[in-house]
Structure 1
Amino acid sequence: MTDLSADFKALANYRPTHKVRFVTAASLFDGHDAAINIMRRILQSMGAEVIHLGHNRSVDEVVTAALQEDAQGIAISSYQGGHVEYFKYMVDLLKSRGGAHIQVFGGGGGVIVPSEIKALMDYGVTRIYSPQDGQRMGLAGMIGEMVMRCDHDLTQYAPTTVEAIQGHTEKSWRALAQLITGLENEVAAGEAKAALSKPFKALAKDIQALAATKKIPVLGITGTGGAGKSSLTDELIRRLRLDQNDALRVAVISIDPSRRKSGGALLGDRIRMNAIGPWGKVGSDTDMRSNSGSDPTLPAPQSGAAARVFMRSLATRDFGSEISAALPDVIAACKVAGFDLIIVETSGIGQGDAAIVPLVDVPMYVMTPEFGAASQ
């Protein structure tokens, strides 16, 4: 067993002072997800909120998730041989879309050789971990270093005007994501824990007042854990987009529970959302479906197409309920941003929980077949 130095042992025991969010995934054309699954579990145990995308994820999918989720870091495992192009494109895309401060970490066992590690880190990747790093630092030491590097408050990036989140441009959606982070840090983490400026506090009040004048439907989906809430949400979005010829813009707010002991969370609903990306038009030149078995009614993802679905994951943190304490403010912000429909999916609940009901126009309860007594 490797005898770790005191520095690496300290990293293994590191716990963040701010709420740290990571997007984790295995790269495109890569089905090797065992390593990234281990990494994201250690991240959670150290107190990080992890938006896990699973395997076979493109750079655009990862970057879009990181921007909408307003993560401090991205962690990618890549064993497919195309890592140089993959990581460089990720750095370029983050810079061009307003996420230059998001740190990128990666690893690929012996597939990424030392010369490539140096070239990628010189290009802007924060850190590529080698097998030798694993021997010296240990798994927990590597993860601890990632968390330490990302342990900073993102509230400073939150917008200070209502106009910043209105409209449906890349810039306005990025501002909305940063505003939601500010709302979470102020409310969900406990009043006055985040050093928000007076203009931002005034902005939050203005948003609530303006949202009260908006007539935008809010659908709340709740139910027991594992009943299929995320899959149902994805299917509803898919059918809505097809039925309305992809004319509507939808905001999805997904909530998952925080761990009581570590404060970490697995925000894993994006892994089931297959209908939230930009589409081409069925039958058009941009319809490039080629995957065997794909739904012939579902347009293929289109590079550069306008996004129609904004998704943000929230952790319950210390609220002690199936929703986040920041949820009312987040719903208000999405209304002011001008979405046509807002869908809120809660974490799993028991029979007595219904915190979502007063916050939405239509609550929907999802349950497993044969659940409960027939008399109920």
Structure 2
Amino acid sequence: YVQEAIDICKAAGFDFIILESAGVGQSDASILDYCSLSMYVMTPEYGAPSQLEKINMLDYADVICLNKFDKAGALDALHDVRKQYKRNHSLWDAKDDDLPVVGTIAAQFNDAGVNELFERLMEKVESKTGIVFKGHAEHHPHSKDTSNQSTIIPPKRVRYLAEIAETINEYDQWVNDQASIARQLYHIQGLSSSLSTGMMQELDMLQQSLKDNLHPECKKLLDSWTGLRERYGKEFYEFKVRDKIIKQPLTYKSLSGTTLPKVLLPKYSDWGDILKWQLQENVPGEFPFTAGVFPLKREGEDPTRMFAGEGGPERTNRRFHYVSLGQPAKRLSTAFDSVTLYGEDPAYRPDIYGKVGNSGVSIATVDDAKKLYSGFDLCDPKTSVSMT
């Protein structure tokens, strides 16, 4: 019923009809019976170059689009398709850039290949129909450079996850090596008081050699261990956040009245154990930040997210006031409906209407946002808002 569908569109007054097929076989070119201008869309995953000889549309298509041009091997595929196009049309002396074969990344905004494809299509339409579509050339400058594309993951970084794993493994190995050196220095320090002068001379040489191999940062960590224990042994701990000195107690009382430390350092004496702990765990607010990026948690604000978002802003606002009732800190987490997230306004259009206020709040104007957070002091340090 393809022809019948086209006839209906013509009868309705449409003069530019785009017919898209679900796909064609290698030897199939029947879609040409229904169109005056054809474009064949393919991907780099067509198999061996010899398979191109079997694709009839490479003979008949006015424009050939090689999509997913960010895939590995796409440049080779473009070269092979252009070579086959030359062979099919006996264009042995034609330049590659003059052939109607374009590499595109349709998923990428403002892709140079898609812009070039559009220009080529408009040129073909104008040459076949005589109708000139003004303005498109000014908005989309003709660009034939499809080789320099910005991809989500550049080809040189396809191993980035493996590189991360390798970096972590190398760091762990370095930590073990430095901890071993620190442990040997600790043993030498323990032996120094019970050995004769002659033996100490040999140990001094070994000790100096080990110190030379100990990284300066590791030496700083070991030297600061005593001071670190003293700081966490005090009643209060002071640290700076954004040029502001924050002072907090280092202990808290449990429900049974027992005083417990917020941060408890390990009771290590071996320098190797101390160094390894500092390099792989450490206290909160210090590298590698396994216990948090700040030395202590902010007091007076429980880590509770007050989640809401359904229907209109008034309904969600009432829910926010209910879930935050009696709480010193207002940590509002707002869920928006998909219509809001995609930047559409509420409407009766079928694909919009059913999603308005569904699984999230509908916010379309500044007034809606004011209603949503009405009654909350958004400038209060104890008020925070997250949007999802």
Normalised by the length of structure 2, the TM-score is 0.18
Which one has the largest radius of gyration? 2
Higher relative contact order structure (alpha carbons within 8 Å, sequence separation ≥ 6): 1
- Name the one with the larger helix percent: 2
- Name the one with the larger strand percent: 1
Normalised by the length of structure 1, the TM-score is 0.19
